[in-house]
């Protein structure tokens, strides 16, 4: 699953590898997408942090948002908030008790359920589809599996025009298999909706005289977009490429 970077796990014998809700190199944006799309209030997961070795992030869904908290590990001791856990098992037991977590903004969250690292989504959707066909008296071929595609993202990107090759900032939203762009964040009606089912490739682009540029290839047109930073461009590319991989699996 391309949400996860290609960085290899330093040591597969690491005790964290046995933790079912440890998501390794899952990015911040991908964690938010997973928890908001498939999680529930109180869902949480542990992932690596960009702060360096021994630094992790606990991502927690709090209603319609996701909060991130630092977890440290030094010499086998886990530090989370004001608590220190001398062993890995003590750390796990703490979360098994569904602790109450308070943030700096005053938000109180109960850590209810860990979000598993690997979810067998396709088999779940297949069983529901067959069940619906039997209950409705229709054949399975009459039904279309409308399973929610994991991952949402939004933000400003600079887009090249179709005819006049100028560049304008637009607000983009990615939900399921639709990439929409608006004049700005406050607009309710999109300028255009791109159906990713028709997209053949998403990749970095170096043909334009701009940095942090990537392109989406459609049969009738290639869309050129630029992000503010290389990291942001990489995040867009990864989540879009993952969407395309899910579309191909369903064909």
Q: Which of 62, 88, 114 is the last residue of a domain?
A: 114
Separation in Å, CA 81 to CA 30, 104, 110: 24, 11, 15
Does 34 score more than 80 pLDDT? yes
In a domain, 4, yes or no: no
Are residue 92 and residue 174 in the same domain, yes or no? no
The whole-number average pLDDT for the span 206-228 is 92
Q: Are 170 and 182 contacting, i.e. CB atoms less than 8 angstroms apart?
A: yes
Does 230 score more than 60 pLDDT? yes
Place of tokens 């990489």: 234
Give the C-alpha separation, 171 to 159, whole Å: 10
In a domain, 132, yes or no: no
More confidently predicted of 108 and 223: 223
Rg of the chain on CA atoms, in Å: 21
Report the CATH number that the domain containing residue 193 is assigned in CATH: 2.30.29.30
Does 160 score more than 60 pLDDT? yes
Report the CATH number that the domain containing residue 103 is assigned in CATH: 3.30.505.10
The whole-number average pLDDT for the span 152-169 is 89
Number of domains in the chain: 2
Work out the mean pLDDT of the chain and round it to a whole number.
Answer: 79
Phi, psi of 116 (to 5 degrees): -65, 150
Q: Which of 114, 132, 163 is the last residue of a domain?
A: 114
pTM of the model: 0.45
In a domain, 3, yes or no: no
User: How do strand 55-62 and strand 152-160 relate by DSSP bridges?
Assistant: unpaired
Give the end-to-end CA distance of the chain in Å, rounded to a whole number.
17
Domain containing 210 equals 153-250
Q: Which of 56, 88, 114 is the last residue of a domain?
A: 114
């Amino acid at each position: 699953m391309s949400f996860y970077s290609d960085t290899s796990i330093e040591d597969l014998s690491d005790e964290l590898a046995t933790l079912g809700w440890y998501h390794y190199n899952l990015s911040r944006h991908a964690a938010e997408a997973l928890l908001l799309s498939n999680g529930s209030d109180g869902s949480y997961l542990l992932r690596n942090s960009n702060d360096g070795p021994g630094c992790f992030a606990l991502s927690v869904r709090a209603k319609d948002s996701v909060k991130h908290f630092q977890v440290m590990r030094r010499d086998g001791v886990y530090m989370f908030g004001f608590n220190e856990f001398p062993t890995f098992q003590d750390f796990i037991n703490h979360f098994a008790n569904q602790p109450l977590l308070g943030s700096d903004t005053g938000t109180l969250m109960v850590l209810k359920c860990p979000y598993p690292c690997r979810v067998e989504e396709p088999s779940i959707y297949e069983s529901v589809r067959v069940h619906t066909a039997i209950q409705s008296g229709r054949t399975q071929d009459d039904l279309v599996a409308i399973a929610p595609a994991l991952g949402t993202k939004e933000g400003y990107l600079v887009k090249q025009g179709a005819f006049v090759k100028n560049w304008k900032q637009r607000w983009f939203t990615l939900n399921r298999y639709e990439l929409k762009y608006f004049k700005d964040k406050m607009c309710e009606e999109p300028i255009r909706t791109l159906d990713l089912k028709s997209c053949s490739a998403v990749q970095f682009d170096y043909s334009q005289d701009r940095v942090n540029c990537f392109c989406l290839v459609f049969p009738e047109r290639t869309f050129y977009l630029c992000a503010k930073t290389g990291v942001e461009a990489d995040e867009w590319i990864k989540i879009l490429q993952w969407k395309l991989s899910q579309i191909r699996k369903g064909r």
